[in-house]
Amino acid sequence: MSILSWATCGAMALTGPADGPPSAAPASVASSASAAASDLATMTARWGRRVVVDGPALLGERAALSGMTRQGSTSVGGACRFVRTADGFIALNLPRPDDVASLPALVGTHVDPDDWAAVAAHLARLGSAEVEDRAALLGVAAARAVPTAGGGRPVSPARELARGIPRRVRPHPLVIDLSSLWAGPLAGSLLAMAGARVIKVEGKGRPDGARLGPAAFFDLLNHGKEMVEIDFNTVEGRDLLVALMVNADLVIEGSRPRVMDRLGIDPVDLANGGSSWLSITAHGRHGDAANRVGFGDDAAVAGGLFVAGDPPMFVADAVADPLTGLAAAAIGAEMLGADRASVVETPLARAAAWAGGSPSTVEVRDVGSGRWAVGVGDDEVVVAPPRSRPVPGRAAPTDHDGASIRAEFGAAPT
């Protein structure tokens, strides 16, 4: 039953107003996470160790490790908030200093970026679509709060973009993890649990931004991966990147399409050489939104996954990230067990749209001492706080394995 899983997994405790009851409305998300976890177990067993995880519980791991709590119309992480516009609401995500600095350009006039009341007043005069378009041009993450965003709920969180040549299934496949932050690293870590060799690639001078966040959370998602730093602006660096990719069974990649275009790398060409490609972007590799910036909270809103209201509220903690990471791990495991290479995308917004469903209307009751409960059949279940899997150990520092990887894949030392 989805409401039982939702109440006990920790994600419900992260959803709703800070000074009121947690929200049972997005309970169907727990069922989707459970389905993805079941697929992961099935697919990993076909070529490696069967990976069993509590899918819904993954939605609250970062909050559990960092002590974050629900904040209603402000995201659990604090960087994203619902802002009223002339015709509705928009989720505006400002996790980076450059995003905050872009606020005057976003509102179209001089304004102190630290004067949020003034920023909000200017945004209230603009339409949601106009704000979203301006944000896209500025490289700022924003999404209109439209319940039916994306034309309805997709039947799958993923979409196959191309088929490649036949490939050999290996019990210890090589996975090149070019992703950062949450979704892609989570997918890579779950594949590592199944027995894959995972090499995490970071750009020289541009390490994974999650290294600056809660250390325990970064360790949880990246422990056991080999680490290499590559300067993509050099011939040697690009040669090493290509060498890793052509030897990989699977490449996990999370940048906007223009990044690989600039490097001259085509996922379809790699699939035609036998390496599968799993793309985890905010809005997909094709279409008008392909190069839009997006993170877990705003991408969830883009997929229609939020608690409706005035103002709307966010679901769990950057919910599109762990949902996509879990779903991508199951899909990546399937790709590693397939006899033909392919190119598949699992956009954050699509995964959020897939995971959503009809809102639950179960009553949430105050049972005292700061606790809340929901009725499940004849029983009453207390809403549980978020929890995390044990952190297995420290992740390796940047380029910890660079020398050995360069030697193995034939690139000269940098």
Closest among 278, 248, 333 to 44, alpha carbons compared: 333
Q: H helices of 167-295, where?
A: 183-193, 215-222, 235-247, 257-263, 267-271
Residue 198 one-letter amino acid: V
Spatial separation of the C-alpha atoms in residues 323 and 329, rounded to whole Å: 10
Element (H, E) at 121: helix 116-123
> Is residue 388 within 8 Å of residue 65, measured between CB atoms?
yes
> Is residue 250 within 8 Å of residue 176, measured between CB atoms?
yes
- What's the pLDDT score for residue 287? 87
Task: State in Å, rounded, how far the first CA of the chain is from the last one.
Answer: 55
Closest among 35, 53, 49, 40 to 335, alpha carbons compared: 40
pTM for this entry: 0.96
Spatial separation of the C-alpha atoms in residues 370 and 36, rounded to whole Å: 32
- What's the pLDDT score for residue 114? 85
Domains of the chain (ranges plus CATH)? Answer: 80-144 (no CATH), 153-359+390-408 (3.40.50.10540)
> Is residue 252 within 8 Å of residue 177, measured between CB atoms?
yes
- Strands annotated E in 39-107: 80-85, 88-93
- What's the pLDDT score for residue 358? 86
pLDDT tens for the 414 residues of the chain, in order: 689 999 999 999 999 999 999 999 999 999 999 999 999 999 999 999 999 999 999 999 999 999 999 999 999 999 999 999 999 999 999 999 999 999 999 999 999 988 889 999 999 999 999 999 999 999 999 999 997 644 568 899 999 999 999 999 998 999 999 999 999 999 999 999 999 999 999 999 999 999 999 999 999 999 999 999 999 999 999 999 999 999 999 999 998 888 888 889 999 999 999 999 999 999 999 888 888 999 999 999 999 999 999 999 999 999 999 999 999 999 999 999 999 999 999 999 999 999 998 888 899 999 998 899 998 877 889 999 999 999 999 999 999 999 999 999 975 444
> Is residue 56 within 8 Å of residue 180, measured between CB atoms?
no
- What's the pLDDT score for residue 256? 85
- What's the pLDDT score for residue 413? 44
User: What string of H, E and C letters represents the secondary structure of 284-336?
Assistant: CCCCCCCCCCCCHHHHHHHCCCCECCCCCECCCCCCHHHHHHHHHHHHHHHHH
- What's the pLDDT score for residue 1? 61
> Is residue 346 within 8 Å of residue 278, measured between CB atoms?
yes
Spatial separation of the C-alpha atoms in residues 211 and 230, rounded to whole Å: 17
